[in-house]
Each structure stands twice: as C-alpha cells, then as structure tokens.
Amino acid sequence: MCGIIGYLGYREAYPILINGLKKLEYRGYDSSGIAIFYENECSLYKTKGRVNELEKKISSYKIKIKGTTGIGHTRWATHGIPDDLNAHPHVSNSNELIIIHNGIIENYYAIKIILLKNGFTFKSKTDTEVLVNFIEYIKKENKFSLEEAVRVSLNEIVGAYSIAIVEKTRPETIIIAKLGSPLALGINKKEFFISSDPIPFINYTNNALYLKDGEMAILRKGEELDLRKITNNHKLSPIIKKLKINLKKIEKGKYKYFMLKEIYEQPKTILDTLRGRLLISKGIICIDGIEFSKDIFINAKCITIIACGTSWHASLIGEYLLEEFIRIPVEVEYASEFRYRHPIIKKKDVVIVISQSGETADTLAALKLAKKKGAFVFGICNVVGSSIARNVDAGVYTHAGPEIGVASTKAFTAQITILILLALKIGKHKSTINDSRYSSLCKELGTIPEKINYILKIYDYIKKISKIYYNFNNFIYLGRGINFPVALEGALKLKEISYIHAEGYPAAEMKHGPIALIDENIPVVIIATKKGCYDKIIGNIQEIKARKGKIIAIVNEGDIQVSMMADHVIKIPDISEELSPLVTVIPLQLLAYQIACIRGKNVDQPRNLAKSVTVE
C-alpha cells in the first residue's frame, strides 16, 4: 500500500515525480524517495516523512536534478520502520539496479537467506531490497538481460507487487510489472508515465493502460510499448483506454481538509448515485448491473457480503436491508477472515463485495476465492475500472467521485444508497415488499439530499459540542437495529482521525459488559431516533445516566423524552428506519472531524493509515 511513480520521455522527470508523489500520498506517507537517471549516473534522494520533506531536503542541496528518466515512491511501511534506510527506491549491491515496489514479497525471508549465503548484504529491513538483489543475482548467475532477469525472478516470487526497475547504465529503459497491486501506464508519443493510479499523469495524457496481474512491460525511450506475460514471455497486445477524469473533483477548494469537503458533498454524491437510476415519480429503479442479476439474486439460498473497514459497516446495513426486503438470509464477512477460513460457498450462491477503492487486497482475494468456488459475485465499487470492478460478474458503481480523505465518508453513504436501491429493486421483483411501502421509500429516498443539507447547517452547534468533549480519552457509540452499524462507523471515524479510543455497540449489549466502563469520564454517543426501538433506547440511556455517563444523543426534531435526559442533543430530520443510516451518520462524521481538528490532527492523512490497503 504505497504509491509508485515513474517517467520515461523527453521532459525533466523531477517535477513530474515530485508532483505525482504528492497526489499519491493517500496511499502512504511515512517516507518517500526518487531516483533520476542522467548520463549513466543516478541521483537518488529519500527521506522519512511526507513528500514535502523530500522536496525540502532536495532544495536544501541547491542543485538542479537533471534527467528525463526517473522513478519515485511514497511509502506505507510493511517491512521495517519508516526511516531513510527503509524508504524506496532501493539499490542492488552492485549499485546497478534501482527499484520501487508497492506490495509485499511473502517469501522474501527464504530468498534473503539464499542471497546472504551468496555474499549479498542488506542496508534496510525491507522485502524490496531483497527483491532487487534477487533480480541482480539471477541476472549475474545466468548472464541474463535485465528484462529476462526480472521475468525469471518474478516467477519465483510469492506475494503482491507493482514494481518499476531501472539499470543505471541503461536509463533509456524502465521495466514494470504487476501482480496484485495496481499499476497504470500513461502513454503519449515518445513518453511513458508510470503510476499507482492515473491522477498524477492525467494532465499529460488520458491514454492509459492498466496492467493486469501477471503482466510486465518494457518501456524503451522513443519506442512502442512492449507488453509481455511474466510466466512465458509471450507478447501481448496492449489495450489502451481513453480516461475521463475531472481534476476539479480532486481539489480541496474552500475546505481545509478533503474529509470536510467530502462530508459536505454528500447531498450531491447521493443525488449522483441515484441519478438515472431512480425515477422517483414513477417509482422505477433501473440499474443495468441489477437488472442483469435480479433473477440470480431471487434464486439465491443465501447472500454473503464481504468487505473491510467502513465498507464492512455498509455491508452490515446491507444485511438489514436485504433481509428485510428480499427475505433471503445474509451473512456479512470481513474479507480478511473469509479468505482464510474455508468458507462454505456453493455454486450459484451470491456474494456481494463492497469497496470504495476497488483495490483492497483482502477484498480482492476474497472475491477471487468466491468466484473459484462458483459463486456469482456482485460488486459495489466507487473507483471505475478498479481491480475489483474488473473482476466481478456484475455490479454497480457508486458514483461518489474521488474520495481523497483517508477516513471514508461520502463513499459510505453512496454504498448504502446502492444497497437500498438493490434491496428495493429485488424486493419489488420478488414481491417481498408491498407496493405502497416500495413507492413511499422511493419517494423518501429523493428527499435524503435535502435532509443532509439540513444537518450540515448545524455544524456550528457540533463545533460547540466538540469543544466540550475533545479532551476525553474514551468514547462509546450506541445504536440499535440498522443504526448499530452506524454506531460502529461513528466510533471508527473518531478513532481513525483523532486517535481517541472509541467502541461501537448495539445499545442493548451495554448491560452485558461494557456498562462496567461507564462513569463521568466516558461520553456515550447514542443514536436515539424515533423509529426502531425508541422506548428500549430510553431504557439504555437511563442505565447510563444512573452511572454518571455523559450522553450525546442523535434525536429527531421535536423529540422530548431523550432530550430531557441527554447532556447534549443533535437534532436531525425524521426519516424511515430503513433509510435512516444515510442521515444519522452525518453528525457522527462531523463530530469526529471537529474533535480531530481541535486536537490538531492531520485529518486527511492520519498516522499509520493509508487510503487504499493493497497489502494483506
């Protein structure tokens, strides 16, 4: 889960690499580095910290880095702590080969032992330094060209990688390869751009090729792309796509952080998710991916939803919705657990995978496993053309636009919107939802954007509450029914960006243990909207108050009972239970954001996290 970048052409590489790395920081930002090649020499700079630190370090040398071939890397540490030595690029023992790598080499230790026995030494603790030396070893032992050495070495590698490698004395060639981790190639006349995603090169070209797993490419200055299969060296015909990316969508504009911008975008992103898919006046839901799969869903004996993190919380909401409206049992699984526990999936079972990035390694591996077992796999993804989107049997894009903040917000509400459409559409087709309920929910879905707009207007009030609570060390989040996953999501948001310990529970579970924690030092954020188990939640609140817990309650406008008991209330518009997560989560996102800001945290790039987790 790092970002890689490269350039080969006629322009100066340095600005392309540095600016590109800044755009890839969402993939990791604990250290970064570049290597630029000029007249058989390599200028290599790397440092701990963000790309800004690298830029500062280089400008302090007051030199002009020349060269039209270069590679760069921004890191999220897997093997070895974030420091200058472990930062990429890594160099082979002879100083001839220079590599950048995103992924994990799982059999690196066994290879390292062989290399040590053959006299190799290592400066870093990384698997990548092992890989570059392994390539050097294979090259020298067999007197191979770099192309052949890379190919043969990669056939011995277990794990995931996207790599770019250069031989110092042949700077007119870069070799790239992919397995598991993403790798996009921008192609112009006489130049190539390498990147983990196309954003860094979209200003230069929209002609792009996404390398597939098991492919490598030899990029030679001024020559046509040479694409090959890693296993057998067969030449492949490149399929070059024209990308359509609106760069305005990935600028912060007036907002201090992308996360706040993305929270505020939700009325629009939900509209975008619904656009052309829900005809409110006629109560018609029409989405190609669902249309194509609806009979498969209806005939399924059970449905399994697989995801990680926030997408897993959306999956839990999907469980409520699908069981309620289509009356088929649903299981929700963490992708990382599913793939390693011999799951029972039979032919024609339906598996839904949910992922914002479409690149999460565990989710992708779970998808492949489900397909291998014969399941029909339906995807809900945000990033168009992502690995998950390309591998499912059918699916739907969420259309939330690029989500840059590491803490997922608008992707979550877009995922829920798709799950609602899916459950309503299949339920109607199966006649497990009655017509009037179906039409009233379709109508109500159309009112969600204005309801979110209403909540966004009370941000000033949430700022006031945040000032009171920002210094507490522990929080509990409670919800019931379909709002229990929202409580989990609220807690995750707070943990991720403010580093405050927070746990989410179903409200009634309190008395089975967590209530022991309650005293005046624990704020409890509770979703207590009128629908669902309102009376029961009042009971839960009384139990907390009796133990001096502080209550921040999310209630409906006009609420009296909870408002009398809670220390602070955040009022939101009334909404049907099934649609309520779309609005109850908004104040929780704002609260987490504001508390993190008061605590002075970097909201968009929280420590230890990366936007896209492309390693196991």
Which residues participate in catalysis according to the annotation?
Answer: 2, 611
CB of 114 to ligand M6R, least distance (A): 34
**Nearer to ligand M6R among residue 173 and residue 408 (C-beta):** 408
From CA 505, how far away is CA 476, in angstroms rounded?
Answer: 8
Query: Of 32, 269, 355, 580, which lies in the binding site for ligand M6R, with binding defined by CB under 6 A?
Result: 355
Strand 215-220 with 226-229, pairing:
antiparallel
Three-state secondary structure call for residue 45: strand
Q: Shortest Cβ distance from residue 354 to ligand M6R (Å)?
A: 7
The stretch among 100-108, 209-217, 322-330, 401-409 that binds ligand M6R (CB under 6 A) is 401-409
For 395-426, b/e burial (b = at least 16 CB within 10 A) is: bbbbbbbbbbbbbbbbbbbbbbbbbbbbbbbb
Closer residue to ligand M6R, CB minimum distance, 393 or 496: 496
Check binding of 406 to ligand M6R (CB under 6 A). yes
Among 363, 483, 498, 614, binds ligand M6R (CB under 6 A): 363
Q: How many residues bind ligand M6R (CB under 6 A)?
A: 16
Nearer to ligand M6R, 230 or 305 (CB): 305
Q: What are phi and psi of 37, to 5 degrees?
A: -110, 135
Distance CA 596, CA 348 (A): 45
Single out the residue of 58, 147, 61, 141 nearest to residue 97, CA to CA.
147
Binding segment (CB under 6 A) for ligand M6R, from list 8-16, 272-280, 304-312, 437-445: 304-312
Closest to 260 (Cα-Cα) out of 404, 432, 95: 404
Binders in 310-339 for ligand M6R, by CB under 6 A? 310-311
The closest of 535, 581, 584, 576 to 555, measured between CA atoms, is 584
3-state SS string over 54-94?
HHHHHHHCCCCCCCCEEEEEEECCCCCCCCCCCCCCEECCC
Shortest separation between residue 367's beta carbon and ligand M6R, angstroms: 11
To the nearest whole angstrom, how small is the minimum distance from the Cβ of residue 498 to ligand M6R? 13
How many other CB atoms are found less than 10 A from the CB of residue 279? 13
Q: Write the binding mask 490 to 529 for ligand M6R: x where contact by CB under 6 A, - elsewhere.
A: ------x---------------------------------
| Closest separation in Å from C-beta 360 to ligand M6R | 3
Report d(CA 492, CA 312) in Å as an integer. Answer: 11
**Smallest separation, CB 469 to ligand M6R (Å):** 20
Burial (CB count <10 Å: 0-12, 13-18, 19+), residue 58: middle
Among 269, 315, 357, 584, interactor with ligand M6R by CB under 6 A? 357
What's the CA gap between 253 and 231, in Å, rounded? 46
Nearer to ligand M6R, 102 or 363 (CB): 363
Our CB check for ligand M6R shows the closer of 77 and 308 to be 308
**Closer by beta carbon to ligand M6R, 298 or else 609:** 609
Contact range with ligand M6R by CB under 6 A, out of 33-41, 315-323, 403-411, 591-599: 403-411
Number of residues in the chain: 616
Q: Strand, coil or helix: what is 46?
A: strand
Q: Which of 309, 504, 532, 581 binds ligand M6R (CB under 6 A)?
A: 309
Beta carbon of residue 104, minimum distance to ligand M6R (angstroms, whole number): 16
Min dist CB 276 to ligand M6R, Å, is 23
Residues 101 and 28 sit within 8 Å (Cβ to Cβ): no
CB of 430 within 8 A of CB of 445? no
| Residue from the set 173, 356, 556, 614 that interacts with ligand M6R by CB under 6 A | 356
Q: Which of these segments, 40-48, 174-182, 353-361, 582-590, binds ligand M6R (CB under 6 A)? A: 353-361
**DSSP class of residue 471?**
T
Residues 570-609 that bind ligand M6R (CB under 6 A): 609
Report if residue 466 touches ligand M6R, rule: CB under 6 A: no
- Compare residues 93 and 382 and give the one whose CB is closer to ligand M6R: 382
Q: Which residues bind ligand M6R (CB under 6 A)?
A: 308-311, 355-357, 360, 363, 406-408, 496, 609, 612-613
